[in-house]
Structure 1
Amino acid sequence: MSSRAPESPVVSILIPAKDEAGSIADVLHEITASSLGSLGVPYEFVVIDDGSTDGTARAALGAGLPNVRVLRHEKSGGKSRAIRAGALAARGEILVTMDGDGQNDPQFLAALVAPLLSDPAVGIVAGQRTRRHDGWQKKFVSKVANRTRRALLADDTRDTACGLKAMRRDVYLTLPFFDNNHRFYPALFMREGWRVGHVDVADRPRTTGQSKYGVLDRALVGLPDLLGMWWLRRRAASRPTAVEVTRESVDG
């Protein structure tokens, strides 16, 4: 970890939210009361209002918490762009992503962050849902998509669509960016030589708002992205270690 001011956040929790005014304040308070505090590191919230029309930004600011920052897209750019906007604005060395709909359980945040604090070889820790509260169609499409992705990318990740992830900000900012790249974070980190950790997490049913993804649009968007990611993996360059050279080392 690099040196930092005592009050600077170590962890930035990025929460993309589109039309989640009914849940976002509760999500923020749940995180505040979660086990994340047991790690003893300061954190901040970065809520990215992705073109909401229901007052999501106002609801986040109205939660009354001092460490909440809110960014707003005037029109929706999608989850990957929202995460990228949050990562660019984040002050923490570790990024945590979490959905704003309340389906991700904050009790698992400490388990996601801990490996990044203790093991310098781990670049990302991905949540893996053990039970999903979706209809059978979404579950079926996800199952097929996950099996296909693992066969092509060998990313050893059962569930890349889970919103709960923790990763190193400096590494994330070096990754290729494209729409929907959030579905491929484990493969992208592996491409750069980083280890991927996994934590089993529980999914919860949505109680407010509506899902932003349908069955057909996931399938139509997912296949071209998967083929593009397969190409990126195949075209990964070798990773020689760069060592700074000084006059003393050369002359010596």
Structure 2
Amino acid sequence: MERNETSQYTFTIIVPIYNEAENISRLEEKLQNFLPQSLYPACVLFVNDGSTDGSREKIHSICERNPHFFYLDMKKNGGLSAALKAGFDYCFSEFVGYMDADMQTDADDFNLLLPHLAEYELVTGIRANRKDSFFKNLQSKIANGYRRMMTGDGVSDTGCPLKVLHTGYAKRVPMFNGMHRFLPALILLQNGRIQQIPVRHYPRIAGKSKYHLWNRLTGPFIDCFAYRWMKKRYINYQISGTNLD
């Protein structure tokens, strides 16, 4: 894949979006304010995951009036893992991060994570004082505990939608449906190092959550077995020399 404008930046923020039209204006304002404050020269890459609520048109308008904003349009909705893989594939900055479009995390907190990339290949947020319902928090706690048992990744909140990592590692992640939940474990398969940092969390005030009992609890249980199958067969190689140009 040919390099693109993201190669002119050090840090690319991927924002997967599926039917978040009610949040996009606030998201634009937050990202506009963050970019000048970013510890590294940064850009934004929206990945429109087949939205049907007008999000696509709003994203295009944002990118027309903001020089550091870019977009990818998926032909159809493929889910969060597919949107992240597309973002990773089209990113050519040294570092890449991502956040949700629901405004429950704060882009400013990327500056809490970025300093640790000198020592770690992935830095993930941990949602402090989560503002979700008791039932949603309970589901997440159960799913996180089961995932840690199955993967041994030691991450307390892999569902936190605020992460930064080295782009080279991101591109080598073997993504398939549901694998966004296992990103730390997949970085560990590459012998990468992981750090966890507390970040802020806010209640959702607009739009609708895309998660329910199946994809928050039952789905991850099944995906753990897919991860265990892949882990035994994962190929991790390094090149010591070549005469290719």
So what's the TM-score if we normalise by structure 2?
A: 0.88
Confirm whether residue 33 of structure 1 aligns to residue 33 of structure 2: yes
The one-letter amino acid paired with 1:11 is F
Question: Measured at CA, do residues 55 and 153 of structure 1 come closer, stay the same or move farther in structure 2, by a change above 3 Å?
Answer: same
2:73 aligns with: 72
Q: Map residues 13-32 of structure 1 onto 2, 5 A cutoff.
A: 13-32=13-32
1:249 matched to which residue of 2? Answer: none
Alignment correspondent of 1:137: 135
| Contact kept? 1:24, 1:59, Cα under 8 Å | yes
Alpha-carbon distance change, 151 to 36 in structure 1, aligned in 2, over 3 angstroms? farther
TM-score (norm 1): 0.86
Alpha-carbon distance change, 38 to 76 in structure 1, aligned in 2, over 3 angstroms: closer
Q: 2:99 maps to what in 1?
A: 98
SS at match of 1:25: helix
RMSD between superposed Cα atoms in Å: 2.2
Matched letter for residue 188 of structure 1: L
* 8 Å Cα contact 2:184/2:194 also seen in 1: yes
Question: What's 2:190 paired with?
Answer: 192
Residue identity opposite 1:83 in structure 2: L
**What SS class does the counterpart of residue 53 from structure 2 fall into?**
coil
For residues 209 and 241 of structure 1, what CA distance do their matches in structure 2 show? 44
Find the residue that maps to 1:70 and give its secondary structure.
strand
1:80–1:181 contact (8 Å) kept in structure 2: yes
* Distance in structure 2 (CA, Å) of the matches to 1:156 and 1:102: 26
Matched residues in 2 for 1:88 and 1:152: separation? 28
Larger Rg: 1
Corresponding residue SS for 1:189: helix
Aligned residue for 1:228? 226
Partner of 1:243: 240
In 2, the alpha carbon distance for the partners of 1:86 and 1:38 equals 20
Partner of 1:42: 41
* Mapped contact 2:92–2:167 kept (Cα < 8 A): no
Partner of 1:250: none
Percent identity, please: 29
Q: Distance in 2 between matches of 1:159 and 1:175?
A: 19
Q: CA-to-partner distance for each residue in 1:28-68, whole Å, 9 max, x for gaps?
A: 321232387251x2211110111111211222233332111
